[in-house]
Copies of this chain bind each other. A is one copy, B any other.
Amino acid sequence: MAVPETRTTPAPLSFETHPSRYRHWKLQFDGPIATLSMDVQEDAGLSPDYRLKLNSYDLGVDIELADAIQRLRFEHPEVRAVVLTSLKERIFCAGANIFMLRGSSHSWKVNFCKFTNETRLAMEDASQHSGMKFLAALNGICAGGGYELALACDEIVLVDDSNSAVSLPETPLLAVLPGTGGLTRVVDKRRVRRDLADFFGTIAEGIKGKRAVEWRLVDATYPLSKFKESVAARVRALAEKSDRPGGPGIQLNPLNPRETADQWEYSSVTVTFDRPKRTATIVVRAPEGPVEDTPEAILAAADQFWPLRVFRELDDAVLRLRVNEPEVGTLVLRAEGDPAFVLQADEVLVAHADHWLVREVRHFIKRALKRVDLTARSFFAFIEPGNAFAGTLFELALAADRSYMLDDPDRPSSIQLSAMNAGPYPMSNGLTRLQTRFYGDPQKVDELLAHDGPFDPQEALDAGLVTFAPDEIDWDDEVRLAVEGRASLSPDALTGMEANLRFVGPETMETKIFGRLTAWQNWIFQRPNAVGPKGALTSYGTSERAEFDFGRT
């Protein structure tokens, strides 16, 4: 039997931080090279129930990492390569803290893994799309989540000191999976042969030295005496592959939403809760006038440039909703304001796509939208007169599980596409949301993108751009019943259903991590052999030995 779920969640949690407040990481700069060093403070975990020994981590450690990666992209365009290493002697990182995992509820474990996965994918996104390369300099033991962090880097080098090894000991020690992309990246990214990966995944002590290189687990090993200089040489070579522009960055200032009992109010995003109905409405507001339209003005606007501001706010709201509001299962998306200004902003995003800051903004919006796709909540878009569902904001309607558009001849309403719906925001499956939506009718994507001007409700319905278009008589009942009906269903079945229906078509390493790997890990996180009273995770670090039910499923 599974252990009863506890809710030891340290809530409400904030995802905002700043290098000046980091407890667990040091960020240092040397021209185009940044060094991000892990130095986890044992007693500074999110909960006093565990100590973060040996550079093991909890969500608080990973929130700082995510913040650092994000700031490197926006605040430090001069950084071309990042060394990821540790300040602890002979220890790189021991992985996710096991006592934290043991004491966490099922949903906390799942959300923890989701966020850490998103952070590692953000590192790969930075490398692929911003020319910010990562070198994992493994100065000591590198186990489990520590090795998974290294796997997210472009290169991995390991000190050769007859002691330091890379390992994925989750299966032999804890009866769970390396669930932060480890299994997928070993075979799909590093392309370790599957039988070698099988062996590697079953031995707690890991692999070191020459064998680690031969098996492709790391790129090189160096003796301690040559480690520093070798890392320095390699990271310089990596930096040379980068196309980052240099020059001053912009500051990412705190978002500081105003929080009341039933509302989170950001400058361009408002989340309003109806907790008894287990629902919330997320309103995203269009800019109130034209956005800055020259690189100089955009740089000057900095984090107040509307496309960046609104998606930073939305991203923060989604993260908070995930961990702080687990019972709010249905999220209604609304876009308000003048769509003309959204479309003007899109024109700016297109015109200056090559400017480094606009590039960063576009990729950030892409990641924020992916975070919506990967959020285990139902999203319904409600499109009414006065809506601003156009271009980039229409991606939210496309990300929704369903959309309802009011068809009231007395109060006209419309939606509109822009060039920003044509490619810049691919989903995890590599397709745009329009391509995903019209997977059965691919030529329709180009037809709709060629459509000049807005779609009225009937046109939008006929085009398949919205799910339903009730008239003014039916509207109130239909949308109310939709939300109430959704909220009455099993949240687990909905999570599984949405995870299957949202990602049609091709799979990528990213969807494999969130589909195959994560789904199996979530299954294992429920299994008595891991989390039951005699399970391996439960027994770890106690005097009890795990006892397994050896029936194979």
B-contact bits for A421-457, CB 8 A (1 contact / 0 none): 0000000000000001111110000000000000000
B504 touches A467 (CB 8 A): no
Q: Is A414 an interface residue (CB 8 A)?
A: no
Give me 18 other A-B pairs in contact (C-beta within 8 A), A2-B526, A493-B529, A496-B524 excluded.
Answer: A106-B553, A177-B493, A177-B497, A183-B497, A184-B500, A194-B504, A195-B400, A198-B402, A216-B440, A326-B551, A326-B553, A491-B553, A492-B524, A492-B527, A492-B530, A493-B530, A506-B507, A515-B516
| A184, A489, A517: residue with the most chain B Cβ atoms closer than 10 Å | A489
Query: Which 8 residue pairs of A and B lie closest in terms of their CB atoms, listed nearest first?
Result: A191-B440, A175-B490, A519-B519, A507-B507, A515-B516, A496-B520, A183-B500, A526-B526
Q: How far is the CB of A4 from chain B (nearest CB, A)?
A: 6
Closest to A499 in B: B520
Q: How far is the CB of A355 from chain B (nearest CB, A)?
A: 34
B506 touches A401 (CB 8 A): no
Q: How far is the CB of A484 from chain B (nearest CB, A)?
A: 12
Q: How far is the CB of A518 from chain B (nearest CB, A)?
A: 8
A483 vs B129: C-alpha distance when bound (angstroms):
45
Q: How far is the CB of A204 from chain B (nearest CB, A)?
A: 11
Q: How many residues of A contact B (CB 8 A)?
A: 98
Given the complex, which residues of B lie within 8 Å of A197, measured CB to CB?
A: 501
Given the complex, which residues of B lie within 8 Å of A437, measured CB to CB?
A: 193-195
Q: Can you name 19 A-B pairs with beta carbons within 8 Å?
A: A170-B493, A171-B493, A175-B492, A177-B497, A184-B500, A187-B501, A188-B505, A193-B437, A194-B401, A194-B501, A201-B497, A201-B501, A329-B550, A490-B529, A491-B529, A492-B524, A515-B516, A516-B516, A519-B519
B552 touches A495 (CB 8 A): yes
Q: Is A512 an interface residue (CB 8 A)?
A: yes
B529 touches A440 (CB 8 A): no
Residues of A within 8 A of B (CB): 1-2, 4-5, 7, 106-107, 110-111, 170-172, 174-177, 183-184, 186-188, 190-199, 201-202, 216, 278, 326-329, 376-377, 400-403, 436-441, 464, 467, 485-487, 489-507, 511-512, 515-517, 519-524, 526-527, 529-530, 536, 546, 548-553
A370 vs B496: C-alpha distance when bound (angstroms):
25
A387 vs B480: C-alpha distance when bound (angstroms):
68
B198 touches A401 (CB 8 A): yes
Say which residue of B521, B536, B546 sits within 8 Å of A496 (CB atoms): B521
